[in-house]
């Protein structure tokens, strides 16, 4: 399935030979990174720390990794004779897919993108690519990536367009042309690799069914709320039947089983298909792709819509989003105003301070500030905000 083209690393080969496969090294470097550990304290839907059962970005990423591996095993079992997708590669893509997401979930992502409108925008997937290729490690006081394989970079590269003013999401940064030139060998490629498709589908599955599960546990999704939501929608008979199944699982206090059966159905609704993309002659990652049964995709999308319509739009979550948007915007504005001045104060940790002050222009300073803010955990962002804005918070001994 894989060849030297897939295994080649960016921007240069790794120095040492290893007993592990190149994709196992990708996965291991991700797991042992600070960026991965920080996901344990970043919001998935609900703020971290409120209760002990809500999913964080870390537990979500682990679930996506498990689903991705299960899809690979199901395809290998069900489509004998087809090349097998590498489990380590898919798991590496799944575990890293949210590395670039900032604190406070999609609210934080939208806020940082608004702050960066004049400086190249902000996008969680593009930030993940930036981390993997430039930022995830520090060697001899210099930020570096993990020297990822071409196959891993391709597996996390969900979007192919580059940012331009007016784009709200689903883009790469302007300075990432070098990455796509490497990934696609200079060709024009629009399709995702098979590993990227598996990662993306696994993420959809986890989001759809997990958010329903957490919403029920948070008592935001209950029978009356579901009935109100359903009555406000135009649902076809199958959608109505699926909503009824959710209601029945709530009445039976059996949403965990409903989630497990739904995930299993999505995994087994996946199949392998042959393609003729631009890179099909160079790698089987583009010669093959996946297809999902339409009815399975629709059901998964319905679950996501229920969670969005009831949980995300609830007053509880909207109030939290309003507050966190204010914090992130104020932090970005204060830091940028400070660092574009003639005598900036040391408002960032030493390493970040040196990076920002070394930038040659305002655009570069804004990007480094964005790197720092997007890397924060929820709690660290709150404490930083309070330290800078609350006169009664903070001390000389604070860890920054």
Output the CA angle 257-202-324, nearest 5 degrees: 90
pLDDT at position 217, please? Answer: 86
pLDDT at position 43, please? Answer: 79
Predicted TM-score (pTM) of this structure: 0.95
Q: 380 exposed, middle or buried (CB, 10 Å; 0-12, 13-18, 19+)?
A: middle
Output the CA angle 181-185-188, nearest 5 degrees: 75
Phi-psi sector, 43: left (phi>0), alpha (psi -120 to 50), beta:
beta
pLDDT at position 395, please? Answer: 75
14-54 pLDDT, tens digit each: 988 889 999 999 999 999 999 999 999 887 765 555 555 57
Pick the CATH number of 4-183 from 3.30.1330.10, 1.10.3210.10, 1.25.40.10, 3.40.50.410: 1.10.3210.10
Closest CA to 102 of 307, 322, 313, 325: 325
Place of tokens 């739009």: 313
Output the CA angle 66-205-244, nearest 5 degrees: 130
pLDDT at position 249, please? Answer: 95
SS3 144: strand
Q: Which residues contact 357 (CB under 8 A, 6 or more apart)?
A: 339, 344
Positions of the chain with pLDDT lower than 50, given as ranges: none
**Measured between alpha carbons, how far is 11 from 308 in angstroms, rounded to an integer?**
39
**Measured between alpha carbons, how far is 292 from 273 in angstroms, rounded to an integer?**
10
Output the CA angle 175-176-177, nearest 5 degrees: 95
pLDDT at position 370, please? Answer: 98
Closest CA to 203 of 93, 339, 328, 75: 93
pLDDT at position 265, please? Answer: 97
Domain ranges of the chain: 4-183, 194-315, 317-389
């Amino acid at each position: 399935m894989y060849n030297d083209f897939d295994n080649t690393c960016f921007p240069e080969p790794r120095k040492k030979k290893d007993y592990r496969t190149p994709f196992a090294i990708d996965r291991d470097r991700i797991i042992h990174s600070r960026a991965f550990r920080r996901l344990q304290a970043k919001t998935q839907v609900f703020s971290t720390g409120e209760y002990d059962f809500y999913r964080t970005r870390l537990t979500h990423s682990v679930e996506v990794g498990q689903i991705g591996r299960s899809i690979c095993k199901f395809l290998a079992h069900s489509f004998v004779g087809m090349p097998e997708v590498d489990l380590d590669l898919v798991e590496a893509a799944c575990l890293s897919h949210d590395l670039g997401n900032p604190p406070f979930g999609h609210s934080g992502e939208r806020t940082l993108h608004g702050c960066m409108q004049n400086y190249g925008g902000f996008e969680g997937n593009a930030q993940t690519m930036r981390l993997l290729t430039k930022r995830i490690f520090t060697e001899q006081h210099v930020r570096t990536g993990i020297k990822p394989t071409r196959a891993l970079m391709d597996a996390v590269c969900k979007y192919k367009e580059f940012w331009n003013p007016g784009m709200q999401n689903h883009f790469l940064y302007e300075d990432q042309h070098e990455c796509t030139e490497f990934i696609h060998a200079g060709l024009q490629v629009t399709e995702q690799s098979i590993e990227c498709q598996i990662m993306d589908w696994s993420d959809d599955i986890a989001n759809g069914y997990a958010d329903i599960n957490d919403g029920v546990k948070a008592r935001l999704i209950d029978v009356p709320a579901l009935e109100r939501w359903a009555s406000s929608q135009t649902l076809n008979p199958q959608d109505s039947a699926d909503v009824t199944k959710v209601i029945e699982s709530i009445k039976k206090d059996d949403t965990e089983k409903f989630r497990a059966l739904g995930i299993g159905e999505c995994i087994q609704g996946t199949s392998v298909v042959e393609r003729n993309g631009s890179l099909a002659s160079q790698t089987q990652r583009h010669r093959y792709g996946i297809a999902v049964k339409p009815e399975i995709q629709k059901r998964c999308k319905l679950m996501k819509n229920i969670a969005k319509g009831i949980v995300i739009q609830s007053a509880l979550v909207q109030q939290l989003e309003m507050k966190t948007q204010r914090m992130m915007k104020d932090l970005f504005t204060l830091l940028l105003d400070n660092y574009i001045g003639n005598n900036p104060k040391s408002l960032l940790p030493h390493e970040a301070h040196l990076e920002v002050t070394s930038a040659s222009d305002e655009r570069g300073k804004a990007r480094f500030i964005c790197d720092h803010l997007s890397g924060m955990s929820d709690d660290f962002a709150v404490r930083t905000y309070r330290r800078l804005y609350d006169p009664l918070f903070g001390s000389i001994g604070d860890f920054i």
